[in-house]
Amino acid sequence: MRVVAVVPAHNEEDRVVATLTGLYRQRRVPDRIVVVADNCTDRTAALAERCGAEVFVPADNRDKKAGALNQALPALLDELAPDDLVLVQDADTVLNPSFVASAAETLAADEGVGAVGGIFFGEEGGGLLGLLQRMEYERYALEVHRKGNKADVLTGTGTVFRARVLREVRAARREGVIGGGEGHYSLASLTEDDEITKAVKTLGYRTVSPDACWLVTEVMPTLPKLWHQRMRWQRGALENLRDYGLTRVTLPYFGQQLMLGIGALALALFVTFTVLVLATVGWQGFSPFWTAITLLFVLERTLTVRRAVLLALPLVPELLYDAFRQLVFVKSLIDLALRRQERWVAT
């Protein structure tokens, strides 16, 4: 089978060389590497060409990443056989050298798998905020492994699709089976990777993330950038569920959102109770039950990360980070209910 790598990029001159180097170092090097230079005003396209990649420049694209991919994919897919593969990878990401080979082997071994998504880890740097994101991503990787490597999201940081599955997604949109326009990627979604996961599953395919398909991606260096990123992720996920409705595919995702809501409420109650007890009677006010609950929370936070145990033990940074994520969830839910418009913000 042939493999074509498609790398959508917007002003990624600082990262695109590392991204392409990661592709050339793959155990199974893609047969073609195409950088989709979307509305770039820097040297992204020139650097990509210098590295030996093809460059595709979308024409008058106003639909961000999804629009750029929808322009680039048709001509590429026309040249591919049904079981050839398309890797879609962000330009701020470096793949593990075994990523492509492992994905290809997984797809060759099981016709029921429509796409292989990556397991992402955070790059070094970013101070305390970067460290908290890396710890979050490690927990996510552990959760994927525990669930038998089932992929809840075909992450935009790196996913390998069967060519015929992408064609089927586009055909389903044109026939009205799924929404989002008439292209391969939805133009109606803030989170195109979450939406296309639901599209692939709706067509009857499974999605997986093998352990060897891991990658390293950027972390948000500032709180405002992290806020914009997470608001887009969370609001997009909620809107995708609204658009798809309750189906056998979306039922587990509705359950995840319900658990997020319960988690937000539980965290608020836990913090409120702790503050009230400390303010009134001090540490002696903790019963054995609440002391055990607190210790279990600390142990869970600590044992689910391989690194930064000393940071997890004090609990305060983790509590604040969890509170931040819960605030994103609540704000997204309120905005959706009030039909406030959310826009895609490049990070």
| Coil, helix or strand at residue 72 | helix
Question: In this prediction, what percent of the chain has a pLDDT beyond 90?
Answer: 73
Mean pLDDT throughout 159-187?
96
| Coil, helix or strand at residue 162 | strand
DSSP 8-state secondary structure symbol assigned to residue 284: G
pLDDT of 191 > 90? The answer is yes
Residues listed for the chain: 347
Q: Pick from 84, 93, 75: which is nearest to 7 by CA?
A: 93
User: What is the spatial distance between Cα 19 and Cα 56, in angstroms, rounded to a whole number?
Assistant: 16
Pairing of strands 85-88, 159-162: antiparallel
- Spell out a b/e string for 128-152, using b for 16 or more CB atoms within 10 Å of the CB, else e: ebbbbbbbbbbebbeebeeeebebb
Radius of gyration for the chain, computed over Cα atoms and rounded to the nearest angstrom? 21
Residue 74: band (very low, low, confident or very high) from pLDDT cuts 50, 70, 90:
very high
Question: In this prediction, what percent of the chain has a pLDDT beyond 70?
Answer: 86
Mean pLDDT throughout 152-170?
97
Pairing of strands 32-37, 54-56: parallel
Mean pLDDT throughout 148-152?
95
Pairing of strands 32-37, 3-9: parallel
The pLDDT, as a whole number, for residue 318 is 72
Give the mean pLDDT of the chain.
89
pLDDT tens column, 291-336:
666 655 555 555 555 554 444 445 667 778 888 888 898 899 898 8
| Coil, helix or strand at residue 332 | helix
The pLDDT, as a whole number, for residue 312 is 46
pLDDT tens column, 103-113:
999 999 999 99
pLDDT of 286 > 70? The answer is no
Residue 32 bridge partners (DSSP): 4
Residues 342, 335 contacting (CB under 8 angstroms): yes
Residue 279: band (very low, low, confident or very high) from pLDDT cuts 50, 70, 90:
confident
User: What is the spatial distance between Cα 62 and Cα 67, in angstroms, rounded to a whole number?
Assistant: 7
Residues 338, 238 contacting (CB under 8 angstroms): no
User: What is the spatial distance between Cα 29 and Cα 155, in angstroms, rounded to a whole number?
Assistant: 20
